[in-house]
Structure 1
Amino acid sequence: MEIRGLNSKEELTDVFGLYEKVFKKTPLSYFKNRLLNDPYFAPQDVRVAIEDGQIVSTITVYRRKMYWRGKAVTFGGIGNVATLPEYGGRGLSTAVMNNAIAYMKQNGFLLSILYTGIHRFYERVGFITPQAWRARLTITEIASGQFKIREFEQSDLNAVQELYLRFNKKSNGPLIREPEYWRANLLFAEENERFLVAEKDKVQAYIRVVPENAKGEVWEFAYDDENAFLELLSFV
């Protein structure tokens, strides 16, 4: 068995073929949009196990940076973990994950992050499961009508980028989004996503929601004016 990164973007065709066999409930377009539009993508970031002349297991390392204690920290986001069913139970995902971890260390990634429901598997290779918190916000009274609520337009992009930066740069964990990442991010948005802004002279808040999504409806928000954000919440 050989474990390595892809040698070229052309090899993604074989990876996509594996996705079609493994991710039955997720359309292939979901993965293509994210990989082919990712401005930081490098073929070597897709780690694969090859056996019997074919790719039988794979993991993608998404190159990202986050705000952390006032600094930019490079990290790897783990995604697209998949093994052909007929090759399951042989430790291939573990082997490819260990290879991906070594690859990230070699390339100076300080952290690796993933979202999962199978915590024990990833804890075995060194990941730590942090305590999760949920918050419920009850909106009692809103002075509506102060702001114009409308769909996001491309002409809003600069204002939204600046708002995102002001809202997130002093926090720990938010992604650092350069202009090329923002443009790509809009391309791989969910098909039924609603991207709304609240403005009064300028954009004061925005929210991105995916109605009835199993992972949660509100995916992202930022605001300068709290009342603008509350109006957005009441609108959606």
Structure 2
Amino acid sequence: MEFRALKQTELHMWSNLCNMVFNKNSENDPHSFLQLYENDPWKDQNNILVAVESGKIVSTVQIYCRFTMLGTQEIKTGFIGGVCTNPDYTGQGLASKLLNHAVDLMRQNEFHISMLTSGIGSFYERLGWQNVQWHWKTMSFAIDNTPCEDFTVRPIRMEDIDSIRFIHSEHSKNFNGPIVRNNDDYWKQKIQIENKTCWVAVDTSGEIIAYLWLYAREEDNYICIIEYGQSAFTRGGM
């Protein structure tokens, strides 16, 4: 078994493995992982680690290099994702070996912190990650169609991106963890691939004063707020 970084010629093989493991019961685009990689402005194939046997990729781990806000500082962060193994090769500790390799690689490249989300936290705790509590709020609501005189709400347009980018930059400084999105390509490319439904609030002068990204599931009227931001001038008034 060979453990190393992915080669350029293996991108499709890697994408096929991820799709087989994560999308086996869905109708998602079979090339979705490759598309996400290609549209990542921070992509680096050296951050995709693989276990290879007889020329076949059987396990993989990906490091997403980002900068995140912590206090008022921007810190280099390695997000772990795409951890998967071919079902025929599970139980051999391949993912664990790749994750340990990923930790060594992040240390060599002077990452300050590593983060991930998972439903099997105990597995990652054994490898050195620490569990951090997430806080969620759920609520029931009714649709309010009362007209508002101060602002209107409409779907996002591509010409809104610069305004949203500015609001995100200012709003995210108040929290720990937001990704620093100072890359032009992110806003031009990646956001168009990753976004769900997005709405903006526009004041009477036509200025965008807030935005909201959400995921809506019509079959059970479920809505999840993915991200939001509002202008400093509107805080407390919306």
**TM-score after normalising by structure 1:** 0.87
The answer to whether the 8 Å contact 1:18/1:56 transfers is yes
Once the two structures are superposed, the pairs formed by residues 1-236 of structure 1 within 5 Å of their partners are 1-8=1-8, 10-23=9-22, 24-25=24-25, 27=28, 28-136=30-138, 144-178=148-182, 179-189=184-194, 193-200=196-203, 201=205, 202-212=207-217, 217-224=224-231, 225-226=234-235, 230=238
Unaligned runs of 5+ in 2: none
> Structure 2 vs 1, CA of residues 46 and 2 (structure 1 numbering), >3 Å: closer, same or farther?
same
Q: Secondary structure at the match of 1:210?
A: strand
The answer to whether the 8 Å contact 1:205/1:221 transfers is yes
Q: Secondary structure at the match of 1:128?
A: coil
The answer to whether the 8 Å contact 1:60/1:81 transfers is yes
The number of residue pairs the alignment matches comes to 226
Q: Secondary structure at the match of 1:44?
A: helix
Deviates more, 1:134-143 or 1:207-216: 134-143
Deviates more, 1:178-187 or 1:50-59: 178-187
Deviation of 1:137 (Å):
6.0
**TM-score after normalising by structure 2:** 0.86
Could you list the per-position Cα deviations for residues 73-132 of structure 1 after superposition, in whole angstroms to 9, with x for gaps in the alignment?
011111111100000001011011111111111111111111110011111110101122
Q: Secondary structure at the match of 1:188?
A: helix
> Structure 2 vs 1, CA of residues 216 and 75 (structure 1 numbering), >3 Å: closer, same or farther?
farther
> Structure 2 vs 1, CA of residues 217 and 130 (structure 1 numbering), >3 Å: closer, same or farther?
same
Unaligned runs of 5+ in 1: 231-236
d(CA) in 2 for partners of 1:53 and 1:32?
19
d(CA) in 1 for partners of 2:171 and 2:47?
30
> Structure 2 vs 1, CA of residues 227 and 169 (structure 1 numbering), >3 Å: closer, same or farther?
closer
Deviation of 1:136 (Å):
4.4
Q: Secondary structure at the match of 2:111?
A: coil
RMSD (CA atoms)? 2.4
The answer to whether the 8 Å contact 1:66/1:74 transfers is yes
What is the percent sequence identity of the aligned residues?
A: 29
Deviates more, 1:180-189 or 1:58-67: 180-189
